[in-house]
């Protein structure tokens, strides 16, 4: 088996942001279910949080490409 | 390591290069594509769309205004109708009242007239009867006088007419009879 | 790319390997597809052609539709209006606020429609190449957004110094201020553009690569595998169809998120305080 261990590293690095994004949207869905009229505000907050969390996964992707060879 | 790999891939050609390395020609195409589309949208699409939004909002607002006006008109019509109805009701009541009083007055008047007429008729009847009685009495008196004179003439055998007339015997007798100085045996009156 | 590229790759592999019996894993090099100019820096590539085609299609559709708009829309106008309405009301107005959103509408609408159609190009038959899986395009779009929101913020806050000053959230204890300032500076100047470009690029490339794996792998199993492996090949093709539907969702979502985050950054830029 050949390949780069960097991709394996990226897979590991994506676990944390994956859980984080799941938590953010779970909270968002909860919030909207409880207060449907607050949807617009919650959406903004949820996407800001998602952007911040996903930044970590995307940094992982960049470093996977950088360190692969 | 990143820079090293970029440097290493310099001679290798694009297929082997990092996927994270932008291709210059594609970037230029991207800029041109964005610029063209942005220009088209900002000069044509967005102003037209915004105009449509404004028109639609105006149409909806105008429609609401119209509806409000129509409602106000309907309300005014209803009010005036109600007022008219009330007025008409008052009028009708007034007319009815008037008619009733008038009717009563007419009935009163008619009754009065009828009574007066009845009284008048009765009165004239009385008067006629009285007159007739008086006439009858007068004629009867004359007749009685003549008859009695005739009778007396037959009994006496000569005409007493002139004398009776001259002396007023019959008259006097009748007056006595009326005053009750003498009572007739039978008065057929 | 998938179907057309299969035949192309099949042909090249047949020419190269003779019988094509070795399996070549699809990789990032499959995305390099020059039309003219060979492997040089100035080659005109297939994604460039797709990008220009999408601009022509979008421009024709929206300009010709918006030229004769009626209060009661036709079917075509309804489609254009729904798209515009989504960007205008759901993204721009709700995020930026009713005061400032109108001047950013062309930018946001351009971004949304361009990214959406270029993403969806990945599953349109005979095009089948998501243009945004070439990093040059996300980088260009992100650069435009990056320059715009910094320029807007500097103008709104009245100078570069005040802009940098506004990055410190009010009400912090003194010793925390420098740390927060560095973090915010990193966010505004480094993390935001990087994630904006790489999110789009990564999603599109990974999604397309996944489709490639299923289709090319299925083809290889079907042509060269033994009897039970041929069954797996059929399964692989079936799954690729399922994944195509999933890709459509991802493609729409990425266009939405890119535009949404742009609107968020712009809203941040025009706001009075942090």
- What pLDDT, on the 0 to 100 scale, is given for residue C126? 87
Give the separation between CA C273 and CA C168, rounded to whole angstroms.
10
**Closest-CA residue of chain A to C25:** A3
Contacts of residue B48, Cβ cutoff 8 Å, sequence gap at least 6: C66, C67, C69
**ipTM metric:** 0.85
Is the CB of C42 inside 8 Å of chain B's CB atoms?
A: yes
Residue B37, both tokens: 């589309």
CA C183 to chain centre: 27
**What mean pLDDT is predicted for residues B68-89?**
93
Which chain C residues have any C-beta within 8 angstroms of a chain A C-beta?
94-95, 191-192, 194-195, 198-199, 202, 257, 260-261, 264, 267
**What mean pLDDT is predicted for residues B167-180?**
76
Please say if the pLDDT value at position B9 is more than 70.
Answer: no
Q: Minimum mean pLDDT among A60-69, B19-28, B93-102, C19-28: which range?
A: C19-28
CA distance B81 to chain C (A): 39
Q: Do B2 and A66 touch (CB under 8 A)?
A: yes
- What pLDDT, on the 0 to 100 scale, is given for residue A25? 94
pTM score: 0.70
For chain C, list residues with pLDDT below 70: 1-21, 272-274
Tell which wins on pLDDT, C200 or B175: C200
Phi-psi region of C25 (alpha: psi -120 to 50; beta: other; left: phi over 0): beta
Tell which wins on pLDDT, B181 or C172: C172
Give the separation between CA A55 and CA C199, rounded to whole angstroms.
8
Give the separation between CA C207 and CA C209, rounded to whole angstroms.
5
Per DSSP, the three-state class of B18 is coil
- What pLDDT, on the 0 to 100 scale, is given for residue B185? 63
Q: How many residues does chain A have?
A: 69
Residue C127, both tokens: 């095009």
Please say if the pLDDT value at position B164 is more than 80.
Answer: no
CA distance A30 to chain B (A): 34
- What pLDDT, on the 0 to 100 scale, is given for residue B119? 92
Per DSSP, the three-state class of C44 is strand
- What pLDDT, on the 0 to 100 scale, is given for residue C11? 42
Q: Which chains touch A (3 or more CB pairs under 8 A)?
A: B, C
Collect all residues of chain A within an 8 Å Cβ-Cβ radius of residue B2. Answer: 66
Cβ neighbours around A32 below 10 Å, total: 16
By the 8 A CB rule, do C260 and C95 touch?
Answer: yes
Q: Do B26 and C137 touch (CB under 8 A)?
A: yes
Collect all residues of chain C within an 8 Å Cβ-Cβ radius of residue A63. Answer: none
- What pLDDT, on the 0 to 100 scale, is given for residue B15? 67
Collect all residues of chain C within an 8 Å Cβ-Cβ radius of residue B15. Answer: 29, 32, 39
pLDDT digits (tens, 9 = 90+) for B134-150: 888 888 878 877 887 78
Collect all residues of chain A within an 8 Å Cβ-Cβ radius of residue B1. Answer: 66-67
- What pLDDT, on the 0 to 100 scale, is given for residue B176? 80
pLDDT digits (tens, 9 = 90+) for A26-57: 999 999 999 998 888 888 888 888 888 887 88
Collect all residues of chain B within an 8 Å Cβ-Cβ radius of residue C144. Answer: 34
By the 8 A CB rule, do A38 and A31 touch?
Answer: yes
**CA dist C41 to B3, B10, B22, B133, C139, Å?**
18, 10, 10, 161, 16
Q: Do A51 and C195 touch (CB under 8 A)?
A: yes
By the 8 A CB rule, do C128 and C122 touch?
Answer: yes
The pLDDT mean for chain B works out to 82
Q: What percent of chain B has pLDDT over 70?
A: 83
Collect all residues of chain C within an 8 Å Cβ-Cβ radius of residue A59. Answer: 194
pLDDT digits (tens, 9 = 90+) for C204-242: 888 888 888 888 888 888 888 788 888 888 888 889 999
Backbone angles phi, psi at B167, to 5 degrees: -90, -15
Contacts of residue C197, Cβ cutoff 8 Å, sequence gap at least 6: C135, C138, C139, C141, C142
pLDDT-derived band at B1 (thresholds 50, 70, 90) equals: very low
Q: DSSP character for C124?
A: S
Q: Do A69 and B5 touch (CB under 8 A)?
A: yes
User: How many Cα neighbours within 13 Å face the side chain of C39?
Assistant: 11
- What pLDDT, on the 0 to 100 scale, is given for residue A4? 79
Q: Which chains touch C (3 or more CB pairs under 8 A)?
A: A, B
Choose the mutation target among B24, B28, B35, B41 for the interface with C, i.e. most C CBs under 10 Å: B41
- What pLDDT, on the 0 to 100 scale, is given for residue C98? 86
- What pLDDT, on the 0 to 100 scale, is given for residue B6? 44
The residue among C218, C213, C211 whose CA lies nearest residue C237 is: C218
* Nearest CB partner across the interface for A58, out of C95, C202, C260: C202
């Amino acid at each position: 088996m050949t390949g780069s261990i960097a991709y394996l590293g990226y897979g590991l690095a994506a676990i944390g942001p994956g859980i984080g994004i799941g938590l953010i949207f779970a909270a968002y869905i909860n919030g909207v279910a409880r207060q449907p009229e607050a949807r617009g505000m919650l959406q903004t907050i949820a996407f800001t949080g998602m952007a911040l969390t996903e930044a970590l996964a995307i940094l992982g992707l960049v470093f996977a490409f950088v360190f692969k060879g | 390591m990143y820079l090293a790999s970029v440097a290493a891939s310099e001679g290798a050609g694009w297929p082997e290069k990092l996927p994270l390395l932008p291709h210059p020609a594609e970037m230029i195409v991207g800029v041109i594509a964005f610029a063209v589309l942005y220009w088209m949208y900002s000069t044509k699409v967005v102003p037209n769309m915004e105009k449509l939004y404004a028109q639609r909002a105006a149409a909806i607002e105008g429609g609401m205004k119209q509806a409000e006006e129509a409602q106000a008109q309907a309300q005014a019509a209803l009010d005036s109708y109600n007022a008219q109805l009330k007025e008409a009701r008052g009028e009708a009541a007034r007319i009815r009242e008037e008619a009733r009083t008038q009717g009563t007055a007419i009935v009163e008047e008619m009754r009065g007239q009828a009574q007066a007429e009845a009284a008048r008729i009765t009165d004239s009847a009385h008067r006629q009867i009285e007159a007739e009685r008086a006439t009858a009495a007068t004629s009867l008196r004359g007749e009685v006088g003549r008859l009695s004179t005739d009778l007396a003439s037959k009994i006496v055998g000569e005409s007493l007419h002139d004398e009776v007339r001259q002396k007023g015997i019959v008259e006097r007798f009748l007056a006595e009879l009326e005053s009750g100085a003498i009572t007739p045996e039978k008065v057929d009156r | 790319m998938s179907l057309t590229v299969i035949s192309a790759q099949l042909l090249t592999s047949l020419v190269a390997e003779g019988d094509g019996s070795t399996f070549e894993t699809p990789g990032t090099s499959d995305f390099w597809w020059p039309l003219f100019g060979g492997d040089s820096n100035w080659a005109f590539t297939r994604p460039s052609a797709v990008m220009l085609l999408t601009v022509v299609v979008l421009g024709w559709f929206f300009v010709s539709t918006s030229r004769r708009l009626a209060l009661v829309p036709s079917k075509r106008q309804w489609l254009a209006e729904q798209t515009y309405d989504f960007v205008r009301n759901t993204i721009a107005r709700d995020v930026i606020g009713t005061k400032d959103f109108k001047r950013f509408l062309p930018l946001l609408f351009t971004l949304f429609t361009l990214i959406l159609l270029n993403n969806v190009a990945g599953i349109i038959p005979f095009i089948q190449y998501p243009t945004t899986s070439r990093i040059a395009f996300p980088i260009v779009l992100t650069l435009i957004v990056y320059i715009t929101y910094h320029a807007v913020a500097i103008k709104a806050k009245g100078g570069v110094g005040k802009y940098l000053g506004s990055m410190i959230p009010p009400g912090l204890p003194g010793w925390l201020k420098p740390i927060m300032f560095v973090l915010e500076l990193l966010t505004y100047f480094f993390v935001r553009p990087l994630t904006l470009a790489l999110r789009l690029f990564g999603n599109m490339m990974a999604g397309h690569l996944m489709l490639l794996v299923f289709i090319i792998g299925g083809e290889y199993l079907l042509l060269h595998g033994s009897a039970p492996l041929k069954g797996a090949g059929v399964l692989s093709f079936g799954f690729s169809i399922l994944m195509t539907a999933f890709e459509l969702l991802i493609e729409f979502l990425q266009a939405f998120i890119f535009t949404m985050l742009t609107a968020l950054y712009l809203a941040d830029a025009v706001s009075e305080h942090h």
